[in-house]
Structure formats: C-alpha cells, structure tokens
Amino acid sequence: MDYKVMRDRIEDMVNDNHRDFVKAIISIEKGINDESALDRLYDAYMDNDSLNLLNEEFDYMIKELRE
C-alpha cells in the first residue's frame, strides 16, 4: 500500500469516527488498552488546544525544510 492510499484510508477513518481514531492512536503509541482511560485522555486532548498528537518537534523540522 502506498502513501496516497494509506493517507486516504486514514482520512476516511478520521472523518468517520474521530474519537475512536484518536483513542486508537493513543492506544498504539502508549500501550494503553483501558477504554475508560482512553476516553479520559481523548477528552483531555479535545479540551486542550495546545495538545498535539504529533510531537511538536515535527513543527520545527517542517519549518527547517521550508527554509
């Protein structure tokens, strides 16, 4: 599966069920399988505009690429 197909599928998942998509990403990345904990983490994520799923270091790397 190439990048474009993967991106389109992920975008469909995000649009279909954002909450469960974010919970799944957190579960995979952090090894958390307790759904009530994932619900609390999702709610905290949505309540905090400064919280990102991707490390903010990516922002700095992207900025450097654009220079």
- Encode pLDDT of 14-66 as tens digits: 999 999 999 999 999 999 999 999 999 999 999 998 888 889 899 999 999 99
Contact 6, 17 (CB under 8 A): no
What's the chain's length in residues?
Answer: 67
Domain boundaries along the sequence of the chain: 3-66
pLDDT at 32 (0 to 100): 97
pLDDT at 58 (0 to 100): 92
| Nearest Cα residue to 21 out of 38, 40, 6, 5 | 38
